[in-house]
Structure 1
């Protein structure tokens, strides 16, 4: 089991509360496999959503969205593929979202941040 920084845990708690308030159903938190980790897996209606949560107190270096690098994107895709392979039959409609939280606690939900096949 991996240790998580308290601010990361707090950001995921805020994101969870926010998504539930938006009508999403939380399926998994901090789902791990050998390919990586997915912060949150939720149902948004009939769509399975893989959510990356990022909190940044500063906009320096591009802010929270800039921290979702191509390496992180690749890990998210591989992890999601593995999750679907091992858990979901038949495969549901899916998307990748980001929940970004700034230093003031402002939450921004970006839907469909990645395209993959």
Structure 2
């Protein structure tokens, strides 16, 4: 599997995990001129923007560490555009990260604040 196929497989795994935990997936790999968001979901009135990170082992650190300030800023810009485009500016939203380390899935809710 190449890098894109691997990423897609783990994004599907994350989407399935979210569905099992009561989330409704509304978008996968949402792209615009600002960048891309892996998953967009809704639960309990929240619009949830999800970044999925995978590591085979912990040797290169925790997968969540890859969601640095630069990545957070890019995700925030895409989320802002999405809310504007879909007319969801008044809907509460949050930014989550799903980390897959080996076979373990960890969901970090409210992983970071919007940083535009």
- Is the Cα–Cα contact under 8 Å of residues 25 and 42 in structure 2 kept in the other structure? yes
State how far apart, in whole Å, the 1-side matches of 2:89 and 2:76 are. Answer: 18
Write the distance in 2 (CA, Å) between the matches of 1:28 and 1:10: 15
SS in 2 for 1:39: strand
Q: TM-score, normalised on structure 1?
A: 0.91
What is the SS of the residue equivalent to 1:66?
helix
Q: How do 1:15-94 and structure 2 match up within 5 A? A: 15-94=14-93
Comparing 81-90 and 47-56, the one that deviates more: 81-90
Q: Which residue does 1:116 correspond to in 2?
A: 114
TM-score, L = length of structure 2: 0.91
Once residues 45 and 19 of structure 2 are traced to their aligned partners in structure 1, the CA distance between those partners, rounded to angstroms, is: 15
Q: For the aligned residues, what is the CA RMSD?
A: 1.6
- In structure 2, relative to structure 1, the CA distance for the partners of 1:4 and 1:46 (3 Å cut) is farther
Structure 1: gaps (5+ residues): none
Distance 1:65 1:110 in 2: 9
- Ranges in structure 2 where 5+ consecutive residues have no aligned partner: none
SS of equivalent residue, structure 1 residue 75: helix
State the alpha-carbon separation in 1 of the partners of residues 87 and 58 from structure 2: 37
Runs of 4 or more consecutive aligned structure 1 residues displaced over 6 Å after TM superposition: none
